[in-house]
A and B are shown apart, each in its own frame.
Chain A
Amino acid sequence: MTEMPKSKGSLLVQDARTKQRNNSESRFKLYGIAAISVGLLMLMILLFTIISRGAGAFQQTYLTLPVQLLADKLDKNGNRNLDEIKKVSTFGYAPLMSAALEAKVAEVGIETTLKPKAMADILSKDAAAQLRNFVLAKPETIGTSLEFKFLTNSRVDGYLKGRVTRASIANDKNINAEQLDLVDALIADGSLGKQFNLDFITGSDASDARPEAAGMGVAMVGSFFMMLVVLALALPIGVAASIYLEEFAPKNWITDIIEVNISNLAAVPSIVFGILGLAVFINYMHLPNSAPLVGGLVLTLMTLPTIIISTRASLKSVPPSIRDAALGVGASKMQSVFHHVLPLAAPGILTGTIIGLAQALGETAPLLLIGMVGFIASNPPDSIASGLMSPNSAMPAQIYEWAKRADPAFYERAWGGIIILLVFLITMNAIAVLLRRRFERRW
């Protein structure tokens, strides 16, 4: 052995090379911190944008208004026959609204040259439908005067939220300055104002003529039924497949091919599953268009590889000594798997499943092709079968749909929908993290 060259420096004083190495280490740390800061900054900007643009959707402007339910307009024959009352369409209710607003204006003493019909234009088109539904539910109220809380037009709502200003309406045909004067007077009177908007969370979609009435509720139910289908199919199939592949299947070229294909499937773009769903479930199996069942089946195909991969990983992480011990005391292969390996792998499997579900919940592309994106304003389903079969949308599809529409009020609702979707995703991921923390065993 050659002798070590004599060091000329001291351990207490850094020589040039050590300095260089230390410098490069601290530079690397700085790069890391910079990378994380950029990531955090992006996240902050994203969250700030979403919340600042979407928070408005959770509040809506309402007008409290007493309405005379005139019997000669709503029930001409006066015999309170529900079928006859039904014949009066929402258009027949519109005059009641203008009359009510005219009376209100006179009562408060607002001076305006607006015609009653123009006054009623500050109300939502949904108001007449709301009134009609109320009368159909309670025909005995015809002839009385009751106080209602109506949605206002999206322009009025935008005025209260600062989206619409007196300057911006110069060319707008949907509202004029005089109507805004009326709105100001009604705000001063206290009958018009913003309130928490529960309908946004529970309601159904609305047409372009009344963005103020649109809600996420029915789309949420659609998403729920799709997730139910995904859970009911992907979990048992995925777990069974991975247990067989991991514990029982012989290791040969066939299983190798299967393994490679599963990994490839996990990376297939989701739109491909949509095309497959259209071809197989709708065109071949004749399942209905726009049904959450079909959406669920398509998303099951998409989620299966994710679940199989995570299940196999958690089965693999159970040490072989557990299996050996079980086999050693006389358990059969199946007993060793179901009594010992599976319970130990369960937290990992559940985590993988929840993350797979969260991914499926946020998926829009495959739904485009099976008719779940569009104007789907159904009522909430009344049974499990109709929940699966009757047309419905899904949360991300609803957001996409709103973002496309002309009225800027829908844009706000799209952002609001993103907030709701994010709350669901964060909750699901938090549950996954908690499960892992609580039950995962380290060896």
Chain B
Amino acid sequence: MSFTKLATSALAIAAVSATAAAARDQVQVAGSSTVLPYASIVAEAFGENFDFPTPVVESGGSSAGLKRFCEGVGENTIDVANASRKIKEKELAACAENGVTDIIEVQIGYDGIVFASDINGNTFEFTPEDWFTALSDMVVVDGELVKNPYTAWNEVNADFPAQDIQAFIPGTKHGTREVFEEKVILAGCEATGAMEKLKEANGGDEKAAEKACITLRADGKSVDIDGDYTETLARIESNKDGIGVFGLAFYENNTDKLQVATMSGVVPSTETISSGDYPVSRPLFFYVKKAHIGVIPGLKEYAEFFVADEIAGPDGPLAEYGLVSDPELAATQAIVADENAMGGGS
């Protein structure tokens, strides 16, 4: 008897809640796993200092987050998408198709991408050319385009130790991957002159040449990591020859296990990134659905709190965790305060 009672009451609750589900009172965030730690620090402080409930922050990658963001407007879609890259035209189109038109783009600061290997292993001083030569599918040898023949770092650059090439790079669903391709592989492609050759091979088509540049070798020397940086770290711990791509903040929390490589002679740190000396950095963003402001309680307050000086400023908790704060934070604060949507639309 008690079971039937329990069952019916549960069903009743389910039925009632299905109709009353229109009462979401906390902000829902999803997206980049690079932004996740910052977003969760903000969400926690937000929950503490305001009377709104603590926002829910999920990860899953920039692309996955933006895809969910663009699913439509309404209580059962997320309010904020975190991204470690700018939203793409294609994604904006998908958004518009589903009725998500007014999107506020908020840049929270910069993040460095670092190359790190096991702390007891060899020390590296990379340039983008080294990474292109080590990882690209096609490289130039003696003026000829050939399938990448290199298996050890000393073949790539005579200054390097004879260590097998084994790279753990972020998978394609991560925004970090795109920055890696653009700022490291593509830069290396141009610097080594492979770009010219590839352009010739593609009949002068620059787009195709760029695509060929960032096509990485598929013989197991470069491994895509679809999980988080913890997975990359675990791979390096089990394969001491491995070199991984990490966010600066992740590296700074694991300095007892990892050593960082310099890029073009610059050691990555918040200082070198904010001064622009360290080449591999990218801005971090979050995107707010304007249609949800005023509907979901606390959404605007959350966005404002995120970019407030005491949070995202140079002395705030985000900078302490590893975010390179944006010198133009005041402009960002104004964007949020005025709810300025992208593309000048209001």
A residues near B (Cβ < 8 Å) are 86, 89-91, 125, 129, 132-133, 164, 168-174, 206-210, 228-229, 231-233, 235-236, 282-283, 285-290, 293, 297, 371, 373-379, 384-385, 388-391, 403-408
Contact = CB atoms under 8 A, between A and B. Distances in A.
A171 B28 contact: no
Contacts of A286: 18, 21-22, 74-76
B76 A377 contact: no
B252 A173 contact: yes
Q: What class of interface size applies to chain B in its complex with A?
A: 35 or more
Nearest to B234: A403
Contact of A405 (B10, B22, B230): B230
Contacts of B73: none
Nearest to A117: B315
Nearest to A206: B44
Interface of B: 3-4, 6-7, 9-11, 13-14, 17-18, 21-22, 24, 26, 28, 30, 33, 36-37, 39-41, 43-45, 47-49, 51, 53-54, 56-59, 74-76, 78, 227-230, 249-250, 252-256, 259, 310, 317, 320-321
A229 B17 CA distance: 13
A390 B255 contact: no
A288 B317 contact: no
A375 B43 contact: yes
Contact of A208 (B41, B49, B254): B41
Given A374-B30, A388-B13, A288 B321 contact: no
Contacts, number: 157
B131 to A, nearest CB: 23
Contact of B3 (A174, A236, A385): A236
Nearest to B14: A293
A289 B189 CA distance: 44
Q: Report whether over half of chain B's contact residues are helix, strand or loop; otherwise say mixed.
A: helix
Contact of B249 (A375, A378, A406): A406
Nearest to A368: B60
B48 A90 contact: yes
Contacts of A389: 17, 21
Contacts of A388: 13, 17
Residue from B39, B56, B78 whose CB has the most chain A CB atoms within 10 Å:
B56
Given A233-B7, A403-B230, A406-B249, A288 B57 contact: no
B27 to A, nearest CB: 10
Contact of B57 (A287, A375, A407, A408): A375
A406 B14 CA distance: 38
User: Nearest 5 A-B pairs (CB), nearest first?
Assistant: A374-B58, A168-B256, A375-B40, A171-B255, A208-B37
Given A403-B230, A404-B227, A385 B76 contact: no
A305 to B, nearest CB: 18
Contacts of B7: 232-233, 235-236
